[in-house]
Amino acid sequence: MLQLPKRRGRRFALLGLSVFWVVAGVNHFVSPDFYVPMMPPYLPGHLELVYLSGVFEILGGILVLVPRVRAMAGWGLVALLLAIFPANIHMALSPELFSDMSTGALY
């Protein structure tokens, strides 16, 4: 069952975290063409991986609101960040492929 903390600051932080991840995950399905070029060339199935990461972002964003699995969801989101880190490295090392993005956004 979804349950928010009683303290206002913690409640807003948790809701913000949840909304961020759910919106980011949904965006993987709405705008996959934005994410596919970020994928390093050595990884297969770029579109499938974009969709998969979107699914896990949505799940993580929802599950942080469930007290019994909140910690596990948090660790799952940490694992997701580690899994997508190669895409961030690819972007930082190949700025010429992302000329429409500011240099700061590549990092």
Phi-psi category of residue 45: left, alpha or beta, with phi > 0 → left and psi -120 to 50 → alpha: left
Question: What pLDDT, on a 0 to 100 scale, did the predictor assign at position 5?
Answer: 64
- pLDDT above 80 for 37: yes
How do residues 43-101 score in pLDDT, each as one tens digit? Answer: 999 999 999 999 999 999 999 999 999 999 999 999 999 999 999 899 888 888 887 87
Residues 6+ positions from 60 with CB-CB distance below 8 Å: 21, 25, 73, 74, 76, 77, 80
Instruction: Give first-to-last CA distance, the chain, whole Å.
Output: 37
Question: What pLDDT, on a 0 to 100 scale, did the predictor assign at position 35?
Answer: 92
8 vs 76 pLDDT, higher one: 76
Task: Give long-range contacts, CB 8 A cutoff, 24+ apart: 9-17.
Answer: 14/64, 14/65, 15/65, 17/61, 17/64
